[in-house]
Amino acid sequence: MTTAWRPATGRRRVAVISAHTSPLATLGGRETGGMNVYVRELSRELGARGYAIDVYTRRDSAGAPEVQPIGPNARVIHVDAGPARTIEKEAIALHLDEFERNVRAFAARDRAAYDLVHSHYWMSGVAGAQLAAAWDAPHVVMFHTLAEVKMRARLSESEPPARIAAERAIAGAASAIVVASDHEKRLLTSLYGAGEARINVVPCGVDLDLFTPSDKRQARLALGLREGERIILFVGRIEPLKGIDILISAAAQLHDDENFKVLIVGGDARAAAEVDQLRELAERLGIDHHVSFVGAVEHGKLPLYYNAADVCVVPSYYESFGLVAVESMACGTPVVASRVGGLTSTISDGQTGYLIPWRCPEPFAERLELLLDNDELRASFGQAARQAVERFRWANVADAVSDVYDALLANGPDGGSTTDEAAAR
């Protein structure tokens, strides 16, 4: 039996669909990362602005409560779709019809009438499109990653044809699409044929009160790191697309007398095989004593790692935005990253970090040595980085997404496109 939860009269009500992963999940696992943070923080911000936000996600634990508040006017709702445990992401696609039915059943019991549906990722988009049609509501979608782009970024990547077909259908029918960068907008139009007028560029956000510069020495003491050791940091999922092998190979090219540690933060039990391969690579290159696999870390503890680090490396083959880079910059730690996707719009090459156009170790090693050997350069980059991320406050993101919602609700599902200028303020 659900607890009745009624928004104030006249409040706009939004069904947020995050089918395959919960915004409450611990970060660093194979399917948890920037999208989880995005859904959670945006929902809280929109709830604080007066929207009534219901985030629907798949129940992946028998003990998960049906309804869990996450902020003013915002709550997460767990619905049954397949077994109540962690399953492979590909298997979740088989349970989307059940997910959609149970979302509708909860909404009916709760007497919830939604003004708008906002889906995150392609699987959510499949269910969200059906829900929006059933409720006669506009459908906003944010893909976060795109199958066609992932496969072009790294030749060994493979995605099911069903995903590509679903993304094309969703992109063609959605009332509005939100993307994190102009680069992603160009890809949606060129590879998926999405209409430009429906695409709204809204950079992702970061909690600048949580991710903020602090004393490096204290951060290292808290993490048990040695004073004087150079810290090179990676944060993210442990998967081939993240390019961690490039980082390890680059670290192997640093000066023999360099006193450094590579901290790799992220990964869960399902990443064990990939971690083993990376350990073997580090051992083969003779730097296994320099590399430490930390595992998943609570979101609130990540600022300690960013502040303890001298440099953060994002060697990904593809990033739609690059939240890790922005979090690091917010803590005043410069970034060395691949020149791909959204990273090109978040990092200013030669000012807040370095962008590497080649996916090979040598240029990463060169830039790492330059930063590690120059305290003044690191400090200058770090100061500029913190100033540059002010535009990524969650309040700005929520304002821009609210503009998208308001335009749709004023003009109806087919006539509510906004301009990039309004959405990317």
CATH number of domain containing 95: 3.40.50.2000
Q: Does residue 7 carry a pLDDT above 50?
A: no
Q: What is the mean pLDDT of residues 14-39?
A: 77
What token pair was written down for 47? 């709830």
Residues 353 and 397 in one domain: no
Q: How many of the other CB atoms lie within 10 Å of CB of 175?
A: 23
Residues 191 and 295 in one domain: no
Q: Where residue 413 falls among pLDDT bands split at 50, 70, 90?
A: low
Q: Where residue 298 falls among pLDDT bands split at 50, 70, 90?
A: confident
What token pair was written down for 295? 């595992």
In-domain check, residue 193: yes
Q: Does residue 349 carry a pLDDT above 60?
A: yes
According to the model, what pLDDT value does residue 5 have?
A: 38
In-domain check, residue 4: no
In-domain check, residue 7: no
Residues 195 and 239 in one domain: no
Q: Does residue 113 carry a pLDDT above 90?
A: yes
Give the lowest-confidence range in 93-107, 138-152, 154-168, 302-316: 154-168
The H-or-E segment that residue 151 falls in is helix 147-153
According to the model, what pLDDT value does residue 228 have?
A: 86
Residues 404 and 357 in one domain: no
Residues 131 and 242 in one domain: no
What φ, ψ does residue 227 adopt, rounded to 5°? -70, 140
Q: Does residue 9 carry a pLDDT above 80?
A: no
What's the CA gap between 40 and 47, in Å, rounded?
A: 11
**What residues make up the domain containing 46?**
13-205+393-423
Q: Does residue 131 carry a pLDDT above 70?
A: yes
E strands, 258-412, in order: 260-265, 291-295, 311-314, 335-338, 353-356
Which tens digit of pLDDT belongs to each residue from 28-84? Answer: 444 456 788 899 999 999 999 999 999 999 999 999 999 999 999 999 999 999 999
Q: What is the mean pLDDT of residues 80-96?
A: 91
What's the CA gap between 186 and 356, in Å, rounded?
A: 21
According to the model, what pLDDT value does residue 153 have?
A: 75
In-domain check, residue 73: yes
Q: What is the mean pLDDT of residues 309-327?
A: 93
According to the model, what pLDDT value does residue 1 have?
A: 34
DSSP 26: P
Q: Where residue 412 falls among pLDDT bands split at 50, 70, 90?
A: low
Query: Residue 211's closest CA among 16, 34, 425, 368?
Result: 34
Query: What single letter denotes the amino acid at residue 225?
Result: L
Q: Where residue 2 falls among pLDDT bands split at 50, 70, 90?
A: very low
In-domain check, residue 211: no
Q: What is the mean pLDDT of the chain?
A: 89
The H-or-E segment that residue 177 falls in is strand 176-179
Q: What is the mean pLDDT of residues 194-201?
A: 95
More confident residue, 149 or 324: 324
Q: Where residue 123 falls among pLDDT bands split at 50, 70, 90?
A: very high
In-domain check, residue 5: no
Residues 187 and 230 in one domain: no
Residues 24 and 113 in one domain: yes
What token pair was written down for 316? 């990904």
Residues 232 and 326 in one domain: yes
According to the model, what pLDDT value does residue 257 have?
A: 60
Residues 316 and 361 in one domain: yes
Number of domains in the chain: 2
Residues 236 and 278 in one domain: yes
Q: What is the mean pLDDT of residues 161-169?
A: 93
Q: Does residue 341 carry a pLDDT above 50?
A: yes
E strands, 236-275, in order: 260-265
Q: What is the mean pLDDT of residues 162-189?
A: 94
What's the CA gap between 351 and 354, in Å, rounded?
A: 8
Strand 52-58 to 13-17 pairing: parallel
Residues 369 and 400 in one domain: no
CB-CB contact of 81 with 96 (8 Å): yes
Residues 128 and 248 in one domain: no
